[in-house]
Amino acid sequence: MIYTVTFNPAIDYVIRTDDVKLGSVNRAASEELYFGGKGINVSAVLAELGVKSKALGFIAGFTGEAIEQGVKDMGIEADFVKLHEGSSRINIKLKAAEETEINGQGPHIEKKALDKLFSKLEELRDGDTLILAGSIPSSLPPDIYEKILSSLSGKDIRFVVDATSDLLLNVLKYRPFLIKPNNHELGELFGVEIVTDDDTISYAVKLQTMGARNVLVSMAGKGALLLDEKGKLHRCGACIGELKNSVGAGDSMLAGFIAGFSDGDYSYALKLGTACGGATAFSDGLAKRSLIDELMKQL
């Protein structure tokens, strides 16, 4: 079973308008609601590919209830910890001449609730996959990723981590199966600017020597690069299409890779991940199977 963890899920309220004038009433031309957060995004694209997963995390209030129902409507098994106070966040995505985002803060997560999450994680068994993705709320300890991997380190679980800075660096000693920085995040990890492919490869190798088994680096219009645990380098070009959406493309790539790796084929996993990332980037919401299949033919 694949498990995803979303510490701070959200309702994304997307508003489209021709222009925004501060200090006056603005009318929306259209609006949409999406239920997400990085882990939920991964689960949603996995479901689109016919792969089952269970979504874990925290929800609160009426917005949390809506997120839980929305996740279930996407065909995802949900097992969230319900908080007694606060509300799950609403993120406003304002799409006008320029794109503006206002992200909510989210509820406070108490130690009792965190203990409940750890109890749920104890149910993971050998052969399961655990995906930790994204930043964490300020109410959680900064080493929460490390604590989770440490608590499960005695089991044969595939750890997948999509995070930045110390959240990522501190878990490398647990030899995660896969990490997925983009080229900018890769440079930030080492305080350098990534300019060439050789730079990307060099620092991907460094992450491997620090413990990561497989390093997947997304490079926007330059495609993606995978350094697998056998030391082999795989490359995949970018898909061609009209960019509509920057939210969830990385999560979609991660989902596609995990789904594609079910048969142990790294090259196919990279290809499917790239197609899924492109399908989200070229859509108003997350990737749909029809577009994923279409983009696979490009690669």
**pLDDT at residue 210 above 90?**
yes
Segments of the chain assigned E as strands = 2-6, 10-16, 30-36, 53-60, 77-78, 81-83, 89-95, 99-102, 129-133, 158-162, 178-179, 214-218, 224-227, 233-236
Q: Is 12 a catalytic residue?
A: no
The residue ranges of every structural domain in the chain are: 1-18+31-176, 180-299
Rounded to whole angstroms, the Cα distance separating 216 from 201 reads: 10
**Model pLDDT for residues 15-38, shown as the tens digit of each residue:** 999 888 889 999 999 999 999 899
pLDDT at 176: 97
Rounded to whole angstroms, the Cα distance separating 253 from 260 reads: 10
Q: What is the pTM of this model?
A: 0.93
Rounded to whole angstroms, the Cα distance separating 54 from 67 reads: 14
Catalytic residue among 156, 166, 251, 265: 251
Tally of CA atoms within 13 A in the half-sphere of 181 that contains its CB: 25
Q: Count CB-CB contacts under 10 A for residue 298.
A: 14
Of 131, 181, 120, the C-alpha closest to 158 is 131
What's the Cα-to-Cα distance from 102 to each of 14, 90, 92, 237, rounded to whole Å? 11, 9, 5, 32
CATH H superfamily, domain 180-299: Ribokinase (3.40.1190.20)
**pLDDT at residue 98 above 90?**
no
Give Cα 287 to chain centroid, integer Å. 13
DSSP 8-state code for residue 42: H
Q: What is the CATH number of domain 1-18+31-176?
A: 3.40.1190.20
Tokens of 196: 């060439």
- pLDDT band at residue 245 under the 50/70/90 scheme: confident
pLDDT at 169: 94
State the burial class of residue 21 (Cβ atoms within 10 Å of its Cβ: 0-12, 13-18, 19+).
Answer: exposed
pLDDT at 244: 86
- pLDDT band at residue 220 under the 50/70/90 scheme: confident
**pLDDT at residue 246 above 90?**
no
Mean pLDDT of 9-16: 93
Mean pLDDT of 192-203: 92
**Model pLDDT for residues 117-166, shown as the tens digit of each residue:** 999 999 999 999 999 998 888 899 999 999 999 999 989 999 999 998 99
Q: Count CB-CB contacts under 10 A for residue 126.
A: 8
**pLDDT at residue 173 above 80?**
yes
DSSP 8-state code for residue 162: E
Q: Which residue has the higher pLDDT, 248 or 69?
A: 69
- pLDDT band at residue 298 under the 50/70/90 scheme: very high
Mean pLDDT of 262-291: 94
Pairing assessment for the beta strands 99-102 and 89-95 based on DSSP bridges: antiparallel
**pLDDT at residue 95 above 90?**
no
